[in-house]
């Protein structure tokens, strides 16, 4: 038996002139009032031209800049496997067209551990189905984010999040082969996480090429359950694009969903998928393989420090679907996802505690460890079997780098 991973992406861009947006009398002050994740205040063409008068067009960006793309022919439609695109004629299961709106919005910056307010998102139409999000360097925010900020040693603005999970080195199983994808299986929980202006990523998947760091996460907040994507520069840690948020439908608490990032040879691009559905496409990255070395790939991250948000909290990353095991962390090399079959080799999994960097990359996920002042509610992690991770309240917390499972046979 096997489990499949499917990732499909399509690219779409929307012309500024074709967007019907509401008038906003004061872009900065109105956007500052937005508090819920994913809320949008639409921008008129006049406001866009006034704030950013020298925007390049879609053809000047596509293929030259690292940019996010949505192709409505494929994005939001399910595929039958992790190695092929969906049928363009198949029904849409996630409405990504509704996310293509010129606006300011509230989004989660997972890398820097904060919620960004008053963040501009400007889309350009490249073809009938393909839309391009204008890179952040062309549309700097018109005012500073409202979230509390700190500055790390490199001067990068950071927030306050804790993270705990597992890291692994794909070279354990791939050897010298190029690694061209990473996958995880995660779930949403029944927790409501009622603290305002906070979020919890119940599974956060991260990978890096030499040029771009990619991250996709299953996020819960007072606004609901969403998928969040970040792209940033691994050398400067600056965001390439505004973080993206989309709201999948028909979510089941406790169900394991695949979430993966993979390189597509033709057309050449990186793709971010959830539940066999391509969500976002990324062009402009000259690299076609993942950096090897320890990397935090199956992580719970949260900006909530309220212990009552985590009463009874427990989530699984990896585990079993219909009695068959699926991996907390897997990789794509030689054209195959591994581990995908019983008997496949697995890499060693190590505890990852936020605030600790992973040696290969020099940075990690989350700014600190889970709180240590919650008594029996302390957040910890455990592994009941190879390549299955449980994170929750009342579980003991191994130190950073402790082995959760050893390399061996996936079963």
What are the tens digits of pLDDT across the range 89-113?
A: 999 999 999 999 999 998 998 888 8
Look at the pTM and tell me if it is higher than 0.75.
yes
Query: Which distant-in-sequence residues (6+ apart) come within 8 Å of 27 by Cβ?
Result: 41, 43, 47, 51, 104, 142
For the four alpha carbons of 182, 200, 279 and 53, in that order, the dihedral sign comes to negative
Of 117, 147, 177, which residue is a domain's last?
147
Considering the domain architecture, whether residues 85 and 195 belong to the same structural domain is answered as: no
Is 230 inside a domain boundary?
A: yes
Considering the domain architecture, whether residues 113 and 199 belong to the same structural domain is answered as: no
pLDDT for the residue 362: 62
Of 147, 177, 210, which residue is a domain's last?
147
Q: Kind and range of the H or E element at 61?
A: helix 58-61
Cis bond upstream, residue 339 (ω within 30): yes
Q: Kind and range of the H or E element at 30?
A: helix 27-32
pLDDT for the residue 115: 85
Query: Which distant-in-sequence residues (6+ apart) come within 8 Å of 347 by Cβ?
Result: 168, 169, 170, 172, 173, 329, 331, 407
Is 7 inside a domain boundary?
A: no
Is 4 inside a domain boundary?
A: no
Is 11 inside a domain boundary?
A: no
Considering the domain architecture, whether residues 131 and 164 belong to the same structural domain is answered as: no
Is 343 inside a domain boundary?
A: yes
The residue range of the domain holding 353 is 151-409
Considering the domain architecture, whether residues 235 and 325 belong to the same structural domain is answered as: yes
Residue 230 Cα distances to 108, 213, 217, 243, angstroms: 8, 8, 9, 5
Considering the domain architecture, whether residues 130 and 187 belong to the same structural domain is answered as: no
Place of tokens 């006034």: 50
Sequence-ordered alpha helix ranges (H) in 238-380:
none
For the chain, the maximum distance between any two Cα atoms, rounded to a whole number of angstroms, is 62
CATH code of residue 233:
2.60.120
Of 364, 201, 232, which Cα lies nearest the Cα of 293? 364
Ranges of residues in the chain with a pLDDT under 50 are: 1-34, 143-158
Considering the domain architecture, whether residues 222 and 100 belong to the same structural domain is answered as: no
Considering the domain architecture, whether residues 20 and 157 belong to the same structural domain is answered as: no
- For residue 5, the number of C-alpha atoms closer than 13 Å in the C-beta half-sphere is 27
Indicate the number of domains in the chain. 2
Which residues does residue 321 pair with via DSSP β-bridges, in sequence order? 324
Considering the domain architecture, whether residues 131 and 212 belong to the same structural domain is answered as: no
Residue 2 zone, left/alpha/beta (φ > 0; ψ -120 to 50; rest): beta
Within its chain, how far is the Cα of 257 from the centroid?
A: 14
Cβ-contact 368, 162 below 8 angstroms: yes
Is 361 inside a domain boundary?
A: yes
Residue 390 Cα distances to 148, 326, 404, 405, angstroms: 30, 13, 10, 12
Considering the domain architecture, whether residues 77 and 166 belong to the same structural domain is answered as: no
- Phi and psi torsions of 310, nearest 5°: -115, 20
Spatial distance between the Cα atoms of 402 and 407, rounded to a whole number of angstroms: 14
Of 147, 181, 197, which residue is a domain's last?
147
375 by DSSP, 3-state: which?
A: helix
Is 39 inside a domain boundary?
A: yes
Which residues does residue 77 pair with via DSSP β-bridges, in sequence order? 92
- Phi and psi torsions of 254, nearest 5°: 85, -15
First to last CA, the chain: 11
Average model confidence (pLDDT) across the chain: 85
Of 394, 374, 387, which Cα lies nearest the Cα of 173? 387
Residue 232 Cα distances to 46, 213, 259, 402, angstroms: 29, 5, 19, 28
Considering the domain architecture, whether residues 190 and 55 belong to the same structural domain is answered as: no
Considering the domain architecture, whether residues 397 and 286 belong to the same structural domain is answered as: yes
Q: Kind and range of the H or E element at 115?
A: strand 114-121
Spatial distance between the Cα atoms of 103 and 119, rounded to a whole number of angstroms: 8
Cis bond upstream, residue 267 (ω within 30): yes
Residue 106 Cα distances to 30, 76, 96, 115, angstroms: 12, 22, 17, 7
pLDDT for the residue 12: 31
- Vertex 315 angle, CA 312 and 317, to 5°: 165
Is 86 inside a domain boundary?
A: yes
Considering the domain architecture, whether residues 166 and 315 belong to the same structural domain is answered as: yes
């Amino acid at each position: 038996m096997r489990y499949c991973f499917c990732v499909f992406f399509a690219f779409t861009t929307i012309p500024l002139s074709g967007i019907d947006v509401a008038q906003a009398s004061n872009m900065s002050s109105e956007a500052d009032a937005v508090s819920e994740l994913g809320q949008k205040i639409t921008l008129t063409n006049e406001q866009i031209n006034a704030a950013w008068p020298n925007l390049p067009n879609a053809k000047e960006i596509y293929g030259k800049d690292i940019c996010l793309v949505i192709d409505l022919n494929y994005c939001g439609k399910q595929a039958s496997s992790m190695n092929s695109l969906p049928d363009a004629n198949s029904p849409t299961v996630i409405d990504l067209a509704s996310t293509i709106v010129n606006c300011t919005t509230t989004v989660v910056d997972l890398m820097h551990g904060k919620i960004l307010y008053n963040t501009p998102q400007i889309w350009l139409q490249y073809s009938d189905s393909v839309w391009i999000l204008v890179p952040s360097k062309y549309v700097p925010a018109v005012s500073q984010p409202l979230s509390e900020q700190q500055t790390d040693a490199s001067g990068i603005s950071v927030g306050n999040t804790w993270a705990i999970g597992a890291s692994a080195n794909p070279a354990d199983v791939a050897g010298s082969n190029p690694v061209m994808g990473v996958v995880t299986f995660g779930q949403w929980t029944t927790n409501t996480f009622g603290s305002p202006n906070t979020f919890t990523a119940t599974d956060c998947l991260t990978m890096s090429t030499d040029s771009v760091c990619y991250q996709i996460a299953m996020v819960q907040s007072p606004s609901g359950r969403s998928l969040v994507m970040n792209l940033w520069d691994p050398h400067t840690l600056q965001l390439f694009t505004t973080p993206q948020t989309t709201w999948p439908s028909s979510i089941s608490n406790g169900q394991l969903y695949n979430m993966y990032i993979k390189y597509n040879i033709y057309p050449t691009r990186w793709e971010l998928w959830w539940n066999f559905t391509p969500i976002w496409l990324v062009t402009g990255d000259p690299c076609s393989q993942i950096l090897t070395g320890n990397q935090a790939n199956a992580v719970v991250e949260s900006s909530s420090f309220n212990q009552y948000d985590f009463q009874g909290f427990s989530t699984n990353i990896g585990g079993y679907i219909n009695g068959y095991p699926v991996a907390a962390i897997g990789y794509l090399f030689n054209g195959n996802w591994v581990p995908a079959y019983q008997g496949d080799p697995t890499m060693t999994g190590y505890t990852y505690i936020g605030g600790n960097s992973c040696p290969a990359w020099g940075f990690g996920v989350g700014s600190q460890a889970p709180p240590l002042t919650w008594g029996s509610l302390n957040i910890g992690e455990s592994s009941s079997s190879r390549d299955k991770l449980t994170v929750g309240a009342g579980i003991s917390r191994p130190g950073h780098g402790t082995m959760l499972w050893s390399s061996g046979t996936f079963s």
